[in-house]
Amino acid sequence: MQRYSLFLMLVWLSSFVYAGVDVKTYIPQRAPLYTLTIASEQAEFFPELEEPNYLFGLIEQESCISLTHSRCFNPYSELKNSREQGVGLGQITRAYKSDGTIRFDSLRDLRAKHLAELNELNWGNVKDRVDLQIRALLLMSRDNYKSLYRVKDPAERLKMSDAAYNAGLGRINKDRTKCSLKEGCDPQVWNDNVELTCTASQTPIPMYGNKSPCRINREHVYNVFEIRMPKYMQFFNTKSPPSVASVPQAPEVKIQTIWDRRFYLDYFFKYD
C-alpha cells in the first residue's frame, strides 16, 4: 500500500512544471566552436561511432552546470573538491583518498594506454589543449565501447559505454553480471534491464547534491541520451556545421515535468 500511495503521489506531481532553459532544444553558445575538431577527431579515433551527436551530449552533461553557465562547453571548466578534480569538456578526472594521495588518475592512465595519441597532454596544459581534451574523451569512450563487444546492438552498447564513462567499466560489467543472474533481466539491454541492476552505492553524498553514486550514474545515461544529444543531430544533417552566430539561441523558458524517468528510477531503487 505504501508503494502504491507513493506512486499515485508522484503521478499527481507530474502535472507541475519548472521554469528555466529548454534543455531539449537549447544549444549552448560555445558548442558550435568544436564541431570541426570533434568531427575530425571522431573520424580518426572512433569511426565506428554511429551516433556522433552523442559526443556533444556527453560534453554538455560533463561540463554544463547550466546551458548558459560560463563553464558550459568551456575547456577551462573545472570541478574540484576534497574527493576529486575534473577538468575540461569531458571532465578528465583524478580522485583522492582521505589522506590526499591519488586514488586514480584518468589522464595518467589514458596517456599510458595511448601514449602516441596523448603524449603532449598533462595536468599542466590540459586546460589549454582542447584538441587533446576531445581526443581523450573519444579514446576513453572508444575503449569502453570496444570492451563491451558482447553487447551486440550498437545503440545499447553505447548507452552502457556511457555508463562506464561515468562509473568505470568494471562497475558496468558488475551491473551486467547482476542483471544476467536476475530472472527476466537482459544484460544486452540498458533501459529497464541493466539500468535497474545498479551495484554502485545508493548512499546519498551531500557534496553531490545529496545524490548517490548509483543515481548519478543512471541519470548520466538518461540525461545524455534522452535529454541532451538528440538536438545535436542538426550539426550532422547539413553539409557545413553551424557557426556560433547561426545557432538560434532560444529564450530561457523550459517546461520540464516532475514525473520523468529519474523519479521512476528513484522509486525503483528505493522500494525494490
Q: What would the pLDDT profile of 86-112 be if each residue is shown by its tens digit?
A: 999 999 999 999 888 999 899 999 999
* Residues 27-48: b if buried by 16+ CB within 10 A, e if exposed: bbebbbbbbeebeebbeebbee
Give pTM, 2 decimals.
Answer: 0.82
Q: What is the pLDDT of residue 241?
A: 53
- How far is residue 193 CA from its own chain's centroid? 19
Q: If you write DSSP's letter for every residue of 195-229 in order, what string do you get?
A: GG---S--S-BGGGTTB-HHHHHHHHHHIIIIIIG
- Residue whose grid cell is 530472472: 183
The C-alpha cell that represents 186 in the structure block: 537482459
Mean pLDDT of the chain: 84
Q: What is the pLDDT of residue 271?
A: 37
Q: Using the predicted structure, report yes or no on whether residue 251 has a pLDDT greater than 90.
A: no
Q: Which has more confidence, 241 or 232? A: 232
Q: How many residues does the chain have?
A: 272
Q: What is the pLDDT of residue 5?
A: 40
3-state secondary structure (DSSP) of residue 142: helix
Kindly report which listed range (6-10, 95-99, 158-162, 229-233) carries the lowest average pLDDT score.
6-10
How confident is the model over 21-42, as pLDDT tens digits?
Answer: 899 999 999 999 999 999 999 9
- How far is residue 131 CA from its own chain's centroid? 19
Q: What is the pLDDT of residue 242?
A: 55
- What whole-number distance in Å separates Cα of residue 32 and Cα of residue 241? 7
Could you tell me which of 106, 67, 61, 60 has the C-alpha nearest to residue 84? 106
Q: What is the pLDDT of residue 240?
A: 55
- pLDDT bracket for residue 82 (50, 70, 90): confident
Q: Which has more confidence, 32 or 256? A: 32
The share of the chain scoring above pLDDT 90, in percent, equals 71
Could you tell me which of 5, 51, 66, 11 has the C-alpha nearest to residue 232? 51
- What whole-number distance in Å separates Cα of residue 108 and Cα of residue 40? 24
Q: What is the pLDDT of residue 89?
A: 97
- The answer for residues whose C-beta is within 8 angstroms of residue 225's C-beta and 6 or more apart is 54, 57, 159, 162
Read off φ and ψ for residue 249, nearest 5 degrees.
-100, 110
Q: What is the pLDDT of residue 110?
A: 96
Q: Which has more confidence, 176 or 260? A: 176
